[in-house]
Structure 1
Amino acid sequence: MCSKGLTLAPKPGNTGRRLLETPSGLINSIGLENPGIPHFIEHELKTMMDLGPVVLANLSGAGLETYVEGAALLDKTDVPMIELNISCPNVKAGGMAWGLDCRAASEVVSAVRKATSKPLMVKLSPNAPDLSGVARSVVAAGADALSLVNTFQSFAVDIEKGRPYFDNVTAGLAGPAIKPIALRMLRDVMLNVPECRDGRIPVAGLGGISCWQDAVEFIMTGAKAVQVGTATFANPHAMEEIIAGLISFMERKGYGEIEDMRGIAL
Structure 2
Amino acid sequence: MNSTVEFLGINFKNPVIAASGTFGYGKEYDEYFDISILGGISTKGLTLHEKIGNLGRRIYETPSGLMNSIGLQNPGINRFIEDELPFLLKKDIVILANLGGDSIEEYVLGAKKLDETDIPIIELNISCPNVKEGGMAFGIDEKVAYEVVKEVRMATKKKLVVKLSPNAKDISKMAQACVKAGADALSLVNTFNALAIDINKRKPIFNNITAGLSGPCIKPIALRIVYEVKKAVDVPIIGIGGIMDYEDAIEFIMAGATLIQVGSANFRDIYASKKIVEGIEEFMKKEKISNLKEITGIIGGK
C-alpha distance in 2, partners of 1:169/1:51?
39
C-alpha distance in 2, partners of 1:230/1:45?
23
Alignment correspondent of 2:144: 104
Q: Give 2:134's match in structure 1, choosing from 90, 94, 97.
A: 94
Mapped pair 1:67 → 2:86: no
Alignment correspondent of 1:164: 204
Mapped pair 1:231 → 2:265: yes
Which structure features the higher share of strand residues? 2
C-alpha distance in 2, partners of 1:159/1:47?
45
Alignment correspondent of 1:51: 91
Alignment correspondent of 2:43: 3
- 1:33-48 aligned at under 5 Å gives the runs 33-48=73-88
Q: Deviations over 1:89-138 (max 9, x none)?
A: 11232211111111111100000011100000000000001000010011
C-alpha distance in 2, partners of 1:46/1:180?
37
Q: Give 2:162's match in structure 1, choosing from 94, 116, 122.
A: 122
Letter in 1 for 2:264: T
C-alpha distance in 2, partners of 1:18/1:261?
38
Mapped pair 1:18 → 2:58: yes
Q: Deviations over 1:186-211 (max 9, x none)?
A: 11101222x1xxxxx11000000000
C-alpha distance in 2, partners of 1:219/1:243?
13
Alignment correspondent of 1:144: 184
Q: Give 2:241's match in structure 1, choosing from 204, 207, 221.
A: 207
Mapped pair 1:260 → 2:294: yes
RMSD across aligned C-alpha pairs, in angstroms? 0.8
CA positional deviation for 1:251: 1.2
Report the 3-state secondary structure (helix = DSSP H, G, I; strand = E; otherwise coil) of the residue aligned with 2:128: coil
Which structure features the higher share of helix residues? 1
Where does structure 1 differ by over 2 angstroms across 4 or more consecutive aligned residues? none
C-alpha distance in 1, partners of 2:58/2:51?
15
Letter in 1 for 2:162: V
Letter in 1 for 2:270: P
C-alpha distance in 2, partners of 1:263/1:25?
26
Alignment correspondent of 1:245: 279
Report the 3-state secondary structure (helix = DSSP H, G, I; strand = E; otherwise coil) of the residue aligned with 1:120: strand
Unmatched runs of 5 consecutive residues or more in structure 1: 196-200
Q: Give 1:27's match in structure 2, choosing from 58, 67, 77.
A: 67
TM-score by length of 2: 0.85
Unmatched runs of 5 consecutive residues or more in structure 2: 1-40
Report the 3-state secondary structure (helix = DSSP H, G, I; strand = E; otherwise coil) of the residue aligned with 1:47: helix
C-alpha distance in 2, partners of 1:63/1:234?
34
CA positional deviation for 1:51: 2.1
Q: How many residues align?
A: 260
